[in-house]
Structure 1
């Protein structure tokens, strides 16, 4: 087993990534709004950076859950994504993502999308180099405090999905 220099703590802000994307015509669906699959693809790719800031090695997406499409994005809008690590398991890293929609001509900004992504380190011998994620803001404290509830919900959904797979 590989020896890892263990840090003890990281703040949520230490893992945060912020990216901005402009909505272009190639991103739109038949309704003239951002295609949800395109948004999920961008979110998954960018949020993995937050997980990599902790793991420092290859992670794979295990789940994308608590997905909430709140507002549509339109041509010319900007989407500003904030992703931060809010929970650590033995090999898993939960990242919370919030995406703001900005109407660039009106200067209006609003939360348009939120989700939780669970990444797992591919190496089965991996030792988490961080013991604890420390929240700094009220929203981070809430997300860290409720991580166990989301983990239980994932475990229940996994059991449900396994049972479904057996029956179809």
Structure 2
């Protein structure tokens, strides 16, 4: 019943569908073994989402991926808004999946799942400044990707 929802959460944090399946399986294992800790007074989907996110972060740490940073040039916010208004959820998620693993994880935790920088720093064992920097750089990379899509669309229409 919750396969699709859990898979969508996992796919936000890992690039490969097979890895997402592995993360989801680990998550459902935790759900079934820890079901006695579920507070029936709260929404099940919220609890499930937190477990899937934590499993994805565990998966990320197991892979010993290093947090890297790139220098990015800023782009105009108007370009981002115009491109976003014409994109579907799947297209936006595809762009997010093109981010480096560290940027994708921090972006998803902060923007999609609403974690604070302090929570992100604690869960990923990084400093708050690194979390803020990675989120800023993820946004800049997305802006660059959006401006490229927008300029490609403009070039096609101008022909």
TM norm structure 2 = 0.32
TM norm structure 1 = 0.31
**Structure holding more helix per residue:** 2
